[in-house]
Structure 1
Amino acid sequence: MAKNRVAPLKTLTLPQLELIAALIGARLASHLQKSLQTPNVTFWSDSQIVLHWLTTSKPLKRFVRNRVDEINQLTGKSLWRYCPTNDNPADLLTRGISADIFLDNQLWNTGPSWLTNRVQWPTWEYEHVTPQTTTEENAGNSEEINMSSLQCSDTLGIHNVIDITHYSSYTKLLRVTANVMRFIHNCRQNTNRQTGSLSASALHDAEIPWLRSCHATSFKEEIENLKVIGKPYRAPDPPLLPKIRVEEAPPFSVTGVDFTGVLYVRNETGSESKCYICLFTCAITRAVHLEVVPDLSTDSFLQAFRRFSSRKSLPKLMISDNATTYLSAASQLKELFQSTSLQEALSMKGTEWKFIPKRAPWYGGFWERLIGLTKTTLKKILGRAFVTMETLRTIVTEIEAILNDRPITYTSSNIEDMEPLTPAHLLYGRRMTSLPYYDIETETGMASIQSDQSILTRRAKIQANIINHFWKRWRTEYLTSLREYHKTTGSNERSIRAGDVVQVHDEGPRLRWKLAGNDGLVRAAKIKTVNGLTTRPVVKLYPLETVTSEK
């Protein structure tokens, strides 16, 4: 009885495919054991890496670990043995064989010649495959490897690979080391191979591992005393809301801008194309304006900005992310927001552009929250629908009206209370999604249209009084409600100072973090790294100190 399976569409390594084959064999054997009541089963595999995975106690990648656990559960105490590739009957079909040879093939019909004689069964040594599986196993454990390299054990270092006593001069040692490093690079890279004479940079790179090895052996105690598990600097209490958030001003005078992730729409030919939603939000009224743009280019954004400023208002101040926190299209957004042509176009209109600190998206919380609401609403409306660009624009405009009708003050359950304040009240004097009020005369059934100057002036004053009434509610209800979320602890000690050497938080392993060295309370700092000056919030900076300095 045999069983096979087509390789998955997802690209897998050959050892992973061999592991899937072992899993299929284990499932088949489990079925036969239950049906035929066979007590003992011996499993054979020609993959030494798979056999190593089945017997190792080291941590494995999730893909491998899940399948190894299932195999061990199915096979129980059954023995897995090694079968040489040339004696594996399964390879006849996986590699292909002609029909004439297949009919008379004894390996397929009876198996290997040594199968019936246990004395001749091939043996497999566990230690022989350990070096072959090191890279495969430790691919997902880079952080653990890097942490172990900090221990600076005498068994580690380049001095255990190259014997320094065999070379009479330091220059010769560096040239040998550079050639060894070039050989390793060429073995790993099929393209961009290094040839020719050694350059000065190659010799400099060869000197670095020797310096590290010397530091690890000569300053072992000092390196081990470096504290790399400390906590970051504590952020002080949240500051008072800036003036741009609480100062009464025309809507969209201070505007935050952000982009959603990529959206896919159907174009005229029926194929798939990308688009994005550009969100403009007022920092004062919390109103939003949404624009669908085809890409993240400067021209597309400027067109969206012109439509926004023509329909709403020309802002005095624009605030945005600095684009380094985006994982998708980060380079395009960075080029967009820092484009010279964009800055010049906005400056000519009298608009100033500011950026929040890098790696601190909470500084732009007043637009990030609305980005989340936009995505949630869009997902609930569209679901998995594949719409056109025109349909998406219509839906996004409707979402804009819904978001501008959301309450920003307390919503009472008593119908006699005033309806909650919304951004649309501050923009238009009424809610957008509710029907306007008509003064219907009983005699004619229709309101008479009057264009007298006094009537128009009176109506304009009434409209202004309504808007002023809503702004008064904005001051008394909305602003006072913001105090509920402002909590203080009283612990505002100044913990970071100019000249401090710190570690800069990054998404990678901690050992790869960069080194870098201030209103009275410091919440963000300008730091200097090997890549130049940049900004970071203090909660992303870790003090670098030794254990002895704390005593």
Structure 2
Amino acid sequence: MVNLIIKSTVDLDFQLQINAYVLSKITSYLPERSVNTSSLDWIDINGLCLADPYFKTPNKIDILLGADAYCCIMKEGVVKSPSGTLIAQNTTLGWILSGVVSSSNESSKHHTRNLSVHCTQFNEDNILKKFWEIEEQVSTRKLLNPEEQKCEEFYMKTTKRDDTGRYIVRLPFRDEDPACKAGSSRDIAETRVKSLEKRLNKDTYLKEKYTEVINEYLQLGHMRPVKEEDNKKDEAVYLPHHAVIRNDKTTTKVRVVFNESEKNKKGVSLNDTLMVGPTLQADLRHTILRWRVHAIGIVADIIKMYRQVRIADEDAVFQRILWRESPEKPLRDYELVTVTFGTASAPYQAVRSLHQVAYDEGDKYPLAANRVLNSFYMDDLMMGSNSVEEGVEICKQMVALLGKGGFALQKWNSNNRQLLDRISSIYTNEVVQQTGQIKIKNENTENKDKEDIGVKDNKEIEIKLDSTIKILGLTWNRHEDCFQYSVNLPPLTTAPVTKRLIISDIARLFDPLGWLAPSVVLAKMFIQKLWLLGVCWDEELTTEVITEWSTYREELSLLTKVQVPRWLGTSSSDDLELHGFSDASKAAYSAVVYLRTIDVSGKIHLSLLVAKTRVAPIKQISIPRLELCGAVLVSKLLIETAEILNISKEKIFAWTDSTVVLSWLNSHPSRWKTFVANRTSEILGALNSSQWFHVPTKENPADCASRGILPSSLVGNELWFSGPSFLKNKLIEYKRPKNLKTDLEQTIKAHTAVVPEHVVFENYSSLRKLVKVIAYCRRVLKKEKHDSKYLKDHEIEAALQTCIRKSQIDSFTTEYEQLKEKGYLNIKSSKLKSLCPFLDKNGIMRIRGRLEKSELDEQVKHPIVLPHSCHLTLLIVADAHEKTLHGGPQLMANYLRSAFWVIGARSLVQQYVRKCVTCAKQRASVRNQLMGALPSVRCTPARPFLYSGVDYAGPISIRTTKGRGHRSYKGYICLFVCMSTRAIHLEVVSDMSTQAFFAAFRRFVSRRGHCAKLWSGNGSNFVGASRELQQLASIQPAIAEYLEANNTEWHFIPPHAPNFGGLWEAGVKSTKFHLKRVIGDSTLTYEEMTTFLNQVEACLNSRPISVINFTDPGEPLPLTPGHFLIGEPIINVPDKNYKSSNVSYLTRWQFVQRMLQSFWKRWSQEYLSKLMNRYKWASQVPEPNVGDVVLIKEDDLPPSRWLLGRAIEKHPGDDNVTRVVTLRTKTSVIKRPTSKLCILPISDP
């Protein structure tokens, strides 16, 4: 779910915040077909500002609003079509159309609803993204991808210069015929400019400034009107524009922003078709590091940098806008003829043109050319010099060089006042005046000159690149020549402290060079902690977490006291060294680099250059390995910094307090495991092992960043900002421990273990695998060369003999030794004595039977003896079972007899066949569990149908009319049975819909009284009719809800367990009995079927439920359900006359009650006694346990297609016997009765 802010293109003051789920697709294109607006029954939409001007064209839906949002956008105003089938409703988003209209190519009607919204994700995402981009790995050079290479080649091929030297570029489209011109975009731009006019009319100041900006475009020639004869509106791309107010800006507070990402009718925008181009500007960290080298710092920026590069005339058609100064005037078409901010390729084109000036004109201005390539970050210039004279010359060349390409600088600033005073004189140069961009009057006062060149009255110039950096930007104090920090966090409110709030605050920390790394790393650790806690974005945090965060947040304001000198104190004659330190803790690892400067007099100066931190991975890693990660980080920082400052590799020194890391680096990476080997290879590829040294932990500044310290401890921290004290000594003692130790210490340990001799046999479940392993082992032991890696038949045979011989020796040790010594067996107690065993030439024990003179094969006459309880014997039996294609015990025994004589073969073979899962599946049989006790509602007196069961029977055919030409349809019988008296109530239903059941249930309770509890099956009586099954399953939830509203409890028996509903299953069987014999194939009308079922119901309710006495005619008739319904059988002769009894003193009411009581007395004595015996399922059978694998019986499928399931839960009854089990199959979790399960002979190891 994401948080969205919906803004209106009509009412610019309106915005609506909603939460929405992100889906890959909301719905299909709407409308389904193009809408025909030429119909006479159409709304006059002229003059209506539509929310979606392109409602006629099918397009995708970006967002679906709910009713809660719909009511917030409604406004007064409705326009209807003549017939009233189509209306236009006024909303804050514009007029929306709804109703029934015809498509453009057919007369069928489609509903169209149109809504236009603009949505953006919450701002914390963008801020957090920038935070992690700054904290990313050190930058590395990357090759251009194919598109970037194509864009570069296109620029070189098509770029030209005009007479004034300005560069003229072409828009780098991906295709020669861009798709953005295929769909008209003028209507969208017209709608946007009209909405803009409404906003400007409400704000006079904004309108005045906005008009000034547009007029400035015209005056400077950055925009031109389109001639009517050249106006090809259909092929042009029109850009909507709007105002952005920047109160923090010192110059242009109102900015016109053009939307090149606005899509046309075809859903394609200008930016969609443009190549972005490669990133050319230098990394911000590199630019600042280069700037720090110079004693005098100079800053400036290019005036309207993008607009100094012209667009070719043939591409201006893709940058059109609509504008008029007053709504009373007609809209005019204009073309932007310069690189426009917001275009996908604009940054590349502007920076590339700036660089091209240096390539084209750099020979004349050598001091400026290199600085153009390396000292600009977009339009911001940060350069310096070591003297005023050098600075003035650099500035002169820079102004002249940029002037050749039409670029001009403004807002100059420097830490040297003398240099600032002399910069103004540069603008009197004729070359600069020819650019026409800056006009300087010499008669101005000194202060005026300073204002024109951008010198501010205050003492600071902010180094800021965008709005995020502006809030938490880095400040340069000119007078003290140092960097300062500003921390502008929003004030705390009474709102709950959530993860979103904390992440928003953390993401505003801007520390590009890591000078605040010891404190910023605490924020990184806190982010990781929040993720490990698993809290949601807007969930209030615990008191402990809030307290920890509040302490840290309160101290962030102390970072404003931090001051880092800008100048590194270097000169061209100084000796420069780079010293990098790394460290790690359980929470993070870090790297920090210092510049050690030694001047000609021997004075030493240390400067903090750059630092990086990384939080430790969530998966726990040992400290030495984290230390190694820190070493990788510092090696990268050292190489990167050395390249920027032009320091040779011999002047680089790396320090760590980990002796394990130093030991790893002093050995070849191949000695170590993958993790260590990869990282040591990377480190040694950057620095030699001789450049690594040991530093004590107390003197390691990286320790501050790896553990993290609060801002209060960071301010004034000498170790961090000034480096370790030993680096300030003229002679440094480079320590390397003599006895380097790794974390893998050599130890000698003695172990005593008892190894089973059969461990090899027991490890394999296949005879083929075991024999192959033994065969390869024999190859190794023999040390013979083989011409093939594959085994030969004689090798496999020898390996099998080895296994058999080993098994015989282990199982018949005494017999084998005697046979080996004497050649015969003379042990009376031996099981092998009657077999007359002997040893063959291979040392294999065989049987000497009575068939020596037969012509049988030698293996049949003298089979190999195999023990009964041996794993090898079991493998041979398993192999025989597979080779006989899962044959039975007789076939397997006969197969084994041809080569082996297995002791106790019959029982062993039978046992294996019983345990074979494949065979068990085919002979699968289910067993019914012990019949359970009757539920209380079956053996407790209660009003008829107070407790009932329900089931469906059918389908049956019902004819619509009598006579010829009738048509029939499917109907069903709904059967209700009384759980106490077995009385039956039948209803005809026309279908299996929810409403049909409701109607039948209402008729039932209206005639039989309220039903307190209702039982039903799960549709098992519809096996073979899947469609009816699905219909029944779909109505069950609705039926349950209805019954609950009528104070009726609905109970389900387990799925596929008809025996749990035997009462209504018997009723269905009896109903069908009469139905087949009386109706047969005849088709009745609904009225005839209702009449017939009432008669069947009377017959069923007249069946005796007690024993019939055929010997005594004086005995009363047997008890029937009719006795409880009307006092006597419904279709039998009347019962005996109770009036003959002595009841003269009874009232009629008392008489009826006595009669009912006598019925219930007979019911208890005669009917319940019949239910005492269990006529089947009289014994308890084994029940599946949790974890058992079972086959799930399906009546309509063969056993080979039955599903496998694993029991995960048992549901025992009141007698503690389990008759229902919950199973997990490969697709779902289901319930089944034990009568549908076959337990497989599988046990977990």
TM-score, normalization by structure 1: 0.53
- Among residues 433, 438, 454, which one is paired with 2:1131 in the alignment? 433
How far has the Cα of 1:464 moved from its partner? 1.1
- Among residues 454, 461, 482, which one is paired with 2:1150 in the alignment? 461
- State yes or no: 1:424 paired with 2:1122: yes
- Among residues 1011, 1018, 1023, which one is paired with 1:315 in the alignment? 1011
Match for residue 501 of structure 1?
1189
How far has the Cα of 1:334 moved from its partner? 4.6
Match for residue 479 of structure 1?
1168
- Among residues 204, 228, 243, which one is paired with 2:919 in the alignment? 228
> What does 1:102-501 correspond to in 2, within 5 Å?
225-229=916-920, 231-232=924-925, 234-268=927-961, 270-327=966-1023, 329-336=1025-1032, 338-413=1035-1110, 414-434=1112-1132, 458-486=1147-1175, 489=1178, 491-492=1179-1180, 494-501=1182-1189
Name the amino acid aligned to 2:988: V
> Matched residues in 2 for 1:273 and 1:428: separation?
35
> Matched residues in 2 for 1:262 and 1:334: separation?
14
How far has the Cα of 1:545 moved from its partner? 2.3
SS at the partner of 2:1088? helix
How far has the Cα of 1:302 moved from its partner? 0.7
Cα deviation code 1:126-161 (max 9, x no counterpart)? xxxxxxxxxxxxxxxxxxxxxxxxxxx9xxxxxxxx
How far has the Cα of 1:495 moved from its partner? 3.2
How far has the Cα of 1:408 moved from its partner? 0.6
SS at the partner of 1:255? strand
CA change 1:438–1:363 in 2 (3 A) is closer
Name the amino acid aligned to 1:362: N
Select the structure with the greater relative contact order (CA < 8 A; seq sep ≥ 6). 1
> Matched residues in 1 for 2:1177 and 2:1083: separation?
48
> Matched residues in 2 for 1:273 and 1:233: separation?
39
**Residue 992 of structure 2 contacts residue 1031 of structure 2 at CA under 8 Å; is this kept in 1?**
no
SS at the partner of 2:976? strand
CA change 1:325–1:307 in 2 (3 A) is closer
CA change 1:324–1:470 in 2 (3 A) is closer
Cα deviation code 1:66-86 (max 9, x no counterpart)? xxxxxxxxxxxxxxxxxxxxx
CA change 1:236–1:333 in 2 (3 A) is closer
> Matched residues in 2 for 1:433 and 1:494: separation?
47
Match for residue 841 of structure 2?
none
- State yes or no: 1:514 paired with 2:1211: no
> Matched residues in 2 for 1:545 and 1:342: separation?
42
CA change 1:531–1:460 in 2 (3 A) is farther
> Matched residues in 1 for 2:1119 and 2:951: separation?
25
How far has the Cα of 1:366 moved from its partner? 0.6
Name the amino acid aligned to 1:247: T
**Residue 494 of structure 1 contacts residue 521 of structure 1 at CA under 8 Å; is this kept in 2?**
no
How far has the Cα of 1:470 moved from its partner? 0.3
Match for residue 1232 of structure 2?
536
CA change 1:456–1:258 in 2 (3 A) is farther
**Residue 1189 of structure 2 contacts residue 1240 of structure 2 at CA under 8 Å; is this kept in 1?**
yes
How far has the Cα of 1:336 moved from its partner? 3.5
Match for residue 212 of structure 1?
none
5+ residue gaps, structure 1, are 1-152, 154-216, 440-454
Match for residue 191 of structure 1?
none
> Matched residues in 1 for 2:1070 and 2:1237: separation?
31
**Residue 254 of structure 1 contacts residue 316 of structure 1 at CA under 8 Å; is this kept in 2?**
yes
**Residue 228 of structure 1 contacts residue 544 of structure 1 at CA under 8 Å; is this kept in 2?**
no
Name the amino acid aligned to 1:254: Y
> Matched residues in 1 for 2:1029 and 2:1244: separation?
45
> Matched residues in 2 for 1:308 and 1:315: separation?
9
Match for residue 88 of structure 2?
none
- Alpha carbon RMSD of aligned pairs, Å? 3.3
Name the amino acid aligned to 1:422: T
> Matched residues in 1 for 2:1045 and 2:1243: separation?
55
More strand by share: 2
> Matched residues in 2 for 1:419 and 1:436: separation?
9
5+ residue gaps, structure 2, are 1-767, 769-878, 887-915, 1138-1143
State the identity %.
34
Name the amino acid aligned to 2:1154: N
Cα deviation code 1:102-122 (max 9, x no counterpart)? xxxxxxxxxxxxxxxxxxxxx
> Matched residues in 2 for 1:284 and 1:423: separation?
9
Name the amino acid aligned to 1:501: V
Name the amino acid aligned to 2:972: Y
Aligned length: 317
Match for residue 103 of structure 1?
none
Name the amino acid aligned to 2:1011: P
SS at the partner of 1:260? strand
SS at the partner of 2:954? coil
**Residue 261 of structure 1 contacts residue 276 of structure 1 at CA under 8 Å; is this kept in 2?**
yes
Name the amino acid aligned to 1:226: V
> Matched residues in 1 for 2:929 and 2:1088: separation?
47
> Matched residues in 1 for 2:1059 and 2:1030: separation?
18
How far has the Cα of 1:246 moved from its partner? 0.6
> Matched residues in 2 for 1:246 and 1:437: separation?
25
> Matched residues in 1 for 2:1060 and 2:1021: separation?
12
Q: Computing the radius of gyration over CA atoms, which structure comes out larger, 1 or 2?
A: 2
How far has the Cα of 1:423 moved from its partner? 0.3
How far has the Cα of 1:493 moved from its partner? 5.5
> Matched residues in 1 for 2:1107 and 2:1135: separation?
24
**Residue 232 of structure 1 contacts residue 538 of structure 1 at CA under 8 Å; is this kept in 2?**
no
> Matched residues in 2 for 1:336 and 1:248: separation?
32
Name the amino acid aligned to 1:468: Q
> Matched residues in 1 for 2:1181 and 2:1173: separation?
24
**Residue 1020 of structure 2 contacts residue 1057 of structure 2 at CA under 8 Å; is this kept in 1?**
no
How far has the Cα of 1:497 moved from its partner? 0.7
> Matched residues in 1 for 2:1060 and 2:1052: separation?
10
How far has the Cα of 1:296 moved from its partner? 0.9
More helix by share: 1
Match for residue 94 of structure 1?
none
**Residue 274 of structure 1 contacts residue 294 of structure 1 at CA under 8 Å; is this kept in 2?**
yes
Cα deviation code 1:492-531 (max 9, x no counterpart)? 3643111111121123232322111123211121111123
